[in-house]
């Protein structure tokens, strides 16, 4: 039995499932965390915290520019089980959107937030799922793969 979800999470996080193509995606981008030490080396969707003066969508565009050096166009939300998306902790939840680089496939940069970025082929779901994901992101990977199959 699962615990009831909180009425509202205090911290709203946003993440991008960056696709190589909007019409016929063949891969999505994963990023390997550099910090904190407890998450170092684990894989995640790039993104970050929403600031008080911005929408989730604005936050995600900003975060992709800051973390990856990529301007993005948001596509569809990968809906989570809560109005604020996917539970990460007792106080934080993440909303995730599929997105593409504005102007075509990016050459994302690896900034200080990540050790590496990697394009994961959609045709190799097992390979994507076998990466050591941040535990809270793994259900989102499953949902993304399901979302892209439909």
pLDDT, tens digit only, all 150 positions of the chain: 445 555 688 999 999 999 999 999 999 999 999 999 999 999 999 999 999 999 999 999 999 999 998 999 999 999 999 999 999 999 999 999 999 999 765 567 777 889 999 999 999 999 999 999 999 999 999 999 999 987
CB of 44 closer than 8 Å to CB of 90: no
**Per the confidence metrics, is the pTM higher than 0.75?**
yes
Strand partners, 94: 13, 86
What's the rounded Cα separation, in Å, for the pair 101 and 96? Answer: 15
Other CB atoms within a 10 A radius of the CB of residue 150 amount to 4
Report the C-alpha gap between 27 and 24 in whole angstroms.
9
């Amino acid at each position: 039995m699962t615990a009831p979800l909180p009425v509202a999470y205090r911290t709203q996080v946003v993440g991008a499932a960056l696709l190589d193509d909007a019409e016929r995606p063949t891969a999505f981008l994963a990023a390997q965390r550099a910090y904190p030490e407890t998450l170092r080396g684990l894989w995640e969707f790039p993104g970050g915290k929403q600031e008080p003066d911005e929408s989730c969508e604005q936050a995600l565009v900003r975060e992709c520019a800051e973390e990856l050096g990529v301007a993005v166009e948001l596509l569809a939300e990968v809906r989570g089980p809560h109005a604020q998306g996917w539970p990460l902790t007792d106080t934080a939840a993440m909303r995730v959107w599929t997105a593409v680089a504005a102007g075509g496939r990016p050459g994302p940069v690896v900034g200080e937030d990540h050790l590496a970025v990697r394009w994961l082929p959609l045709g190799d779901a097992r390979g994507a799922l076998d990466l050591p994901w941040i535990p809270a992101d793994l259900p989102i990977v499953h949902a993304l793969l399901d979302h892209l199959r439909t």
